[in-house]
Structure 1
Amino acid sequence: MKLFPIFADLQGRRVVVVGAGAVAERKILSLLSAGAQVVAGAPEATPGLLQLSREGGITLRLEPFEPGWLEGAWLVVAATDDRDLNRLVAGHANERKLLINVVDDPELSTFQVPSIVDRSPLTIAISSAGSAPVLARRLRERIESLFDHTLGTLADLAARYRPAIRQARPDLRRRREFYDWLLDGPVAAALRARQPETARALLESALQTPQTPAQGSVVLVGAGPGDPGLLTLNALRALNEADIILHDRLVSAEVLELARRDAERIPVGKLPGENHDATQNRIHELMRHHANAGRRVVRLKGGDAFVFGRGGEELEFLKKQGIPYEVVPGITAALACAAYAGIPLTHREHAQSVRLITAHCREDAMVDDWPALAREKQTLAFYMGVGQLETLSSQLIAHGRSKDTPFAIVENGSRANQRVLHGKLDELADAARRHAIKSPSMLLIGEVCALAPELEWFGASVTAGDARAA
């Protein structure tokens, strides 16, 4: 985040605008709508600003800029077409630790004036940090069409009844549900029909309706491999309804950023070398504790909960405890990593099937079907295989898979730092060591991997024989 978004209360506060042309006039009118006391100055002014000055709407100084204008100011706007003058004003503002906006000059500005969608008291601001104001304007135009103008009236109504809502709905989750009903239900519909008294009566009636105790629940949500754009709409909805989020270690920060700001986030990822069964038991206990306390729990897992994610074990536990649950599937790593590396998992000429295999097993459940895995015309997708590459390649070759079979390791699949290593099966372990491949990585083996160098479209790519090791 390049700029910190902030909504400033300028009611009755002094704002200095250096400049009195057409651009300055637009800025001044916006500042006046926010209740600011505007002092503007320039040797000449537009007819509109001259009229505003005569009416007492602004203080207008028809003279060259003087640093003394800035005394007592809260904000400064430089809106002249003289960059040297704008730079001078910015310098004096910075000396006084005043935030300044220099119109169309992000380099000299310490704050930007965003494009605004005004549904007062609801205000939506869009900023490109000054780098692409046309883009911000285009986005504002789109957003304008999404929000009815009665939203401001609805926000006023909610503000007036806020104490009553808090008293009638002391439970946070129930209060949030009430606000959802307020936004989506008959109250909003009445306001759109310009029936404010009906809307008020509906709200008061709902507040008087007795509420049953909130029941907790758990939603198992697949977070995908990392790219937040791969979340489903149901996953996004669950994240925005969560009270508690129990998330794995590999869930990306970008995905967590989409969750409700006031949801409690608890990391429960399993680390190498620790007792995974003990960690799983802790996850079970956290789900039980928070659900029984009436909270909405999201169990957020990387990839898909039902593909090597112990999702089945967690549902069995919740079922035994009588805790309501839902499941939101996620895009599993094999699908996403292959797609982001340009590798079709099946292909009419190269692979008629695909196998999803975990290389991380219990000691008494190691892979024992090597002859079946070594057959041609299939794609093998190994999860958690970085530590087993020597064994995987040697066993496949020993059981008949050609040493020239192509492989691809997709490291950090779908994320900004994705890297794909290509090569032949007998080079696998050595190439991964030389290029310092680390988890999370997906290993794909099969003839389809030969298509990757031609079809790849995302991230970096290296070959096993490349001397430039990472």
Structure 2
Amino acid sequence: MPAPLFPLFADLHGRPVLVVGGGAVAERKTRALREAGAEIRIGAPALTPTLAEWAELGLITHLEGEFQPAWLDDVWLVTAATDHADVNAAVADAANRRRIFANVVDDAALSSVQIPARVQRGPLQVAISSSGAAPMLARHLRERLESELDESLGPLALLLQRLRPRITAQLPDIATRRRFFDTLLQGNVPGLIRAGRLYGATRQLLCLLGAPRQRPKRGRVALVGAGPGDAGLLTLRGLRLLNQADVILHDRLVSPEVLALARRDAECIEVGKQADGPSMRQSTINALMLEHALAGKTVVRLKGGDAFVFGRGGEELQALRAHDIDYEVVPGITAALACGAYAGIPLTHRDHANSLRLLTAHGANGPSEHEWADLARPGQTLAVYMGVAGLANFAQQLITHGRAAATPAALIENGSRPEQRVISATLDTLPALARQHAVASPALLVVGDVAAHADTLHWFGAAPLRPDPADEKKPWPARAA
């Protein structure tokens, strides 16, 4: 087994570097070297348009022609990025004779140095190398880290760089300094930076610096939209916060697949609410958020869909604000968007709908009241949350106030999940079909001409369930007591 590579981060700022080759790969390598501030020389008979433009602007120096060993004069590093194996071998051989590190693209045997896959957040860099054995594995790990490392790490690193002399002077003992950084990174400073509050983050850091052993008196809360159920629809910011949370207060509708992405030692508490079943009172949920945040913990309030679309997110922020708890809001893909997409229903379509209404059939004190005549106008799409229990009444009200009984309508049950079902019918026949198939919450109702596209554009799960033509004229069954 060959010896492992020795990792280094090279300071190439202002130092001459040679790239042999003028194609797309050479351009990619040159772009990275420019970011490092190197003085770049490009040796090649011809250049890509971008490289040619950089040369014309004086950003790089073009050495025109075939490779010559003299090109290596004074350089610190050379990259061979041509399509010709013999040229790349000649570059590597000439570099070795001069004891200059050489990187030959896609040829580990000829390379005396390799360029790792990188994840960069400001001055913070994570380099990944497989020693040339499996470049695709290194690339895969880089993609994983790109999703897990928050963008706020860059500004945080710059802040720590600026305050490093002060931190070192006040905390000369390495063990004490390590405890300080542990407290810092588990506290509010990263969240303040993420929210764009650099001044507040600096003040908090300086406060901690004066008392490095103290745990922050207050934690913080993130309202995170979990989306409709498919874990792949969770945002990167939401994923990062789930991996930082001490406590997760989650809705009943948050899928197990999303919860499985959370930090393994986080305390998960279900705070489910259900319109027609047992629910935790909103005041109790607010109290739980406050209790854990006041204990200095990082809390994620994980809500199905989006916290600000019929998710009571505003009420919860008011409770946090009243107790001076720091918070942030991470949007989620709301049910209307996700269910429509997974059912093949475009919520707007220039031939069918010029507006979209997001409605709820269940308000704070029971069934919602609406301006029915306004909702009955054609040319609009209605996306109705929590509409299963009152479906028959909702449909009847629209028809009574002028919406055509034959208007296409669809129910999407468990949208985006493996058990998704789509019930496609018309406004007058949908309630009976929903009862026939025992549709249950969570389900989104879509009313409007666009709903007919579920029959032709569906792509996820089983085809929509349609009414039996023989049953279409039967009266709606009476509601169960």
Cα distance in structure 1, aligned partners of 2:316 and 2:141 = 44
User: What amino acid maps onto 2:227 in structure 1?
Assistant: G
Q: 2:256 aligned with 1:259, yes or no? A: no
User: What amino acid maps onto 1:269 in structure 2?
Assistant: G
Q: Deviations over 1:382-405 (max 9, x none)?
A: 101110111011111111100100
Indicate the SS of the match to 2:464. strand
Cα distance in structure 1, aligned partners of 2:142 and 2:387 = 49
Cα distance in structure 1, aligned partners of 2:255 and 2:426 = 31
Indicate the SS of the match to 1:270. coil
Cα distance in structure 1, aligned partners of 2:175 and 2:311 = 40
TM superposition shift of 1:143? 3.5
Equivalent position to 1:291, from 283, 290, 293: 293
TM superposition shift of 1:147? 9.9
Indicate the SS of the match to 1:298. strand
Q: 2:139 aligned with 1:142, yes or no? A: yes
Cα distance in structure 2, aligned partners of 1:360 and 1:416 = 26
Cα distance in structure 1, aligned partners of 2:400 and 2:394 = 10
Cα distance in structure 1, aligned partners of 2:390 and 2:427 = 13
Q: Deviations over 1:310-352 (max 9, x none)?
A: 1010001101011111000111000000011111111111000
Cα distance in structure 2, aligned partners of 1:144 and 1:441 = 37
Which residue pairs with 2:350 in the alignment?
Answer: 348
User: What amino acid maps onto 1:228 in structure 2?
Assistant: A
Equivalent position to 2:221, from 218, 221, 226: 218
Cα distance in structure 1, aligned partners of 2:144 and 2:371 = 58
TM superposition shift of 1:463? 3.2
* Distance change in 2, residues 1:273/1:440 (3 Å): closer
User: What amino acid maps onto 2:139 in structure 1?
Assistant: R
Cα distance in structure 2, aligned partners of 1:272 and 1:364 = 8
Q: Deviations over 1:249-306 (max 9, x none)?
A: 0000011111111111011012455675x62111111111110110000000000001
Map 1:381-400; keep pairs closer than 5 Å: 381-400=383-402
Long gaps (5+) in structure 2 = 5-127, 129-133, 146-173, 191-207, 472-481
* Distance change in 2, residues 1:364/1:280 (3 Å): closer
Which residue pairs with 1:169 in the alignment?
Answer: 179
Which residue pairs with 1:339 in the alignment?
Answer: 341
Which residue pairs with 1:427 in the alignment?
Answer: 429
Which residue pairs with 1:326 in the alignment?
Answer: 328
Equivalent position to 1:361, from 335, 348, 363: 363
Cα distance in structure 1, aligned partners of 2:176 and 2:468 = 64
Cα distance in structure 2, aligned partners of 1:341 and 1:364 = 28
Contact 1:226 1:302 in 2 (8 A): yes
Cα distance in structure 2, aligned partners of 1:352 and 1:288 = 43
* Distance change in 2, residues 1:396/1:212 (3 Å): same
Q: Which deviates further from its counterpart, 137-146 or 382-391?
A: 137-146
Which residue pairs with 2:460 in the alignment?
Answer: 458
Q: CA RMSD in A?
A: 3.6
Contact 1:427 1:464 in 2 (8 A): no
Indicate the SS of the match to 1:461. coil
Normalised TM-score (structure 2): 0.56
* Distance change in 2, residues 1:279/1:389 (3 Å): same
Cα distance in structure 1, aligned partners of 2:138 and 2:278 = 54
User: What amino acid maps onto 2:222 in structure 1?
Assistant: V
Cα distance in structure 1, aligned partners of 2:438 and 2:296 = 46
Q: Which deviates further from its counterpart, 362-371 or 415-424?
A: 362-371
Cα distance in structure 2, aligned partners of 1:382 and 1:333 = 10
TM superposition shift of 1:428? 1.1
User: What amino acid maps onto 1:245 in structure 2?
Assistant: I
Indicate the SS of the match to 1:291. helix
Equivalent position to 1:228, from 224, 228, 231: 231
Indicate the SS of the match to 2:336. helix
TM superposition shift of 1:368? 3.2
Cα distance in structure 2, aligned partners of 1:460 and 1:410 = 12
Long gaps (5+) in structure 1 = 1-28, 34-123, 125-136, 149-163, 181-205
User: What amino acid maps onto 1:372 in structure 2?
Assistant: D
Which residue pairs with 2:198 in the alignment?
Answer: none
Cα distance in structure 1, aligned partners of 2:293 and 2:403 = 49
Cα distance in structure 2, aligned partners of 1:173 and 1:279 = 34
TM superposition shift of 1:364? 6.9
Q: Deviations over 1:424-469 (max 9, x none)?
A: 11101100011121111111000011122111111112333249x9
TM superposition shift of 1:169? 3.3
Q: After the TM superposition, list the runs of 4 or more consecutive aligned residues in structure 1 that deviate by more than 6 angstroms.
A: 144-148, 164-167, 170-173, 206-209
Cα distance in structure 2, aligned partners of 1:273 and 1:439 = 9
TM superposition shift of 1:210? 2.9
* Distance change in 2, residues 1:243/1:364 (3 Å): closer
Normalised TM-score (structure 1): 0.57
Cα distance in structure 2, aligned partners of 1:413 and 1:359 = 18
User: What amino acid maps onto 1:343 in structure 2?
Assistant: I
Map 1:367-446; keep pairs closer than 5 Å: 367-446=369-448
TM superposition shift of 1:213? 3.1
Cα distance in structure 1, aligned partners of 2:185 and 2:450 = 53
